[in-house]
Amino acid sequence: MISQRTPGIVAERLSAEELARNFADLHAPLEPHEAAVAADRCYFCHDAPCVTACPTEIDIPLFIRQISTGTPEAAAKTIFDQNILGGMCARVCPTEDLCEQACVREMAEGKPVEIGRLQRYATDTLMQRDIHPYTRAAATGKRIAVVGAGPAGLSCAHRLALLGNDVVVYDGHAKPGGLNEYGIAAYKSTDDFAAREVAWLLDIGGITVETGKVLGGDLALDALAAQYDAVFLAVGLGGVNALNLEGDDKSGVTDAVSFIETLRQSRDLTKLPVGRNVVVIGGGMTAVDAAVQSKLLGAENVTIAYRRDRAAMSASRYEQDLAASHGVKLMFNVQPVAIHGNGAAAEIELEYTASVDGRLVGTGEKTRLTADQVFRAIGQTLTMEGGLETRNGKIAVSGAGRTSLDRVWAGGDCALGGDDLTVTAVAEGRDAAMDIHAALNGSV
């Protein structure tokens, strides 16, 4: 937790009105006439490269054509057939690196069709009319446990329920949603959209959600496997990597994941303390989200310090530019060596790095930055146990998420493979559900 007693980390840096403006929707939703104009730019390619670039393989030309003909609800159905969390993915997907990067318009003109915003227009239109476009198949009599109510778990649960199976979803948090509820920047998912999307998804029926249940604590994998016909693990990565350096335990040093979670669940951002001088260690989306939101809360100086060069950052160039546009300074080829201060962080010492024969090494040249708050965003680790084969710190899987244990599948961030994106987790949950159903019932 962030302590307001830490020097320099205080609440109410900005007024409620300023914070409301800062945390408003990053991209305003399209109006109907704007959607029609945006849809008209699509070439409706027969062999559309945008579809291949989409991890959930949404038929993008079809749904855009449906928007252009004035049937956004049909467009939404096309999207949801492949991605039941298409509403959130429209908000958080790095479309600039996926479907829009592959768009023929992007390659020819440097300006792609606004696929992400059109997807949001379609899905929002249907969801705002309180329509769930699916009806469950006849009951199969099979019961499946899904552990983890994030994108992979919810996607798997919905598809299993659609096919007539009964599903119980367990999650350690107080609310379902996983990353979408607790880990996405607040300006990307406004107005409690994550919670509303979960409620809409559960309208399919056949899904029971039990919160406050943690695998390895309240739940045991062998007991679940004995109680249910199958188990799908979507537990994410619960551990946070430590800096392992002098001063890492000082007040004001914390992990970015906890900061973002606290912010996302805050009902009054004026009460959320933030430092005057913030440094975020890392180069991924979590680092960018923590840095930008620190700035939006009123931090005066925010720096992202990354140990490699810009090209190696896992955060997209769009996200890097977004951070810079909010006044976040990006430092490359620097790694932390110590955090200084008398009990509380006051400065961070960084060493410049270089790549030598493919290895990252310190150059010996160092610099210091004033830092009363330091966020660790250097990756997360798998924390669950249960006799599963793991590889590279994740659950080893084959095919559509099959693990080393019989009748146990896994997907999302906890499973080997993929690229730690919400949209990829949705695809893995969906595909595992199809495989689970076929394994239990013989056909889809």
pTM of the model as a whole? 0.94
Question: What is the model's pLDDT at position 3?
Answer: 42
pLDDT at 262 over 80: yes
Give, in words, the CATH class of 32-128.
Answer: mainly alpha
CA–CA distance, 262 with 419 (Å, rounded to integer): 25
State the pLDDT confidence band at 240, using cuts at 50, 70 and 90.
confident
Per-residue pLDDT tens for 274-285?
Answer: 999 999 999 999
Cβ–Cβ under 8 Å, residues 85 and 100: no
Question: What is the model's pLDDT at position 383?
Answer: 84
CA–CA distance, 13 with 97 (Å, rounded to integer): 35
Average pLDDT of every residue of the chain:
95
Question: What is the model's pLDDT at position 385?
Answer: 67
pLDDT at 288 over 70: yes
Give, in words, the CATH class of 143-238+382-441.
Answer: alpha beta
For CATH 3.50.50.60, list the domain ranges present in the chain: 143-238+382-441, 242-376
pLDDT at 70 over 70: yes
Question: What is the model's pLDDT at position 6?
Answer: 65
pLDDT at 189 over 80: yes
Question: What is the model's pLDDT at position 11?
Answer: 96
CA–CA distance, 334 with 331 (Å, rounded to integer): 7
Question: What is the model's pLDDT at position 4?
Answer: 40
Instruction: Tell me the average pLDDT across 262-284.
Output: 97
Beta-carbon contacts of residue 267 (< 8 Å; ≥ 6 apart): none
Question: What is the model's pLDDT at position 444?
Answer: 62
Percentage of the chain exceeding pLDDT 90: 90
Q: How many residues does the chain have?
A: 444
Distance of CA 413 to the CA centre of its chain: 10
Question: What is the model's pLDDT at position 384?
Answer: 77
CA–CA distance, 421 with 412 (Å, rounded to integer): 8
Question: What is the model's pLDDT at position 170?
Answer: 98
Q: Is the dihedral of CA 282, 287, 181, 420 positive or negative?
A: negative
pLDDT at 1 over 50: no
Cβ–Cβ under 8 Å, residues 436 and 403: no
Question: What is the model's pLDDT at position 8?
Answer: 87
Per-residue pLDDT tens for 347-396?
Answer: 999 999 999 998 999 999 999 999 999 999 999 888 876 789 999 889 99
Beta-carbon contacts of residue 326 (< 8 Å; ≥ 6 apart): 292, 295, 296
pLDDT at 2 over 50: no
What angle is formed at CA 270 by the lines to CA 265 and CA 275, rounded to 5 degrees? 95
pLDDT at 293 over 70: yes
Give, in words, the CATH class of 242-376.
Answer: alpha beta
Percentage of the chain exceeding pLDDT 70: 98
Per-residue pLDDT tens for 159-174?
Answer: 999 999 999 999 999 9
pLDDT at 121 over 90: yes
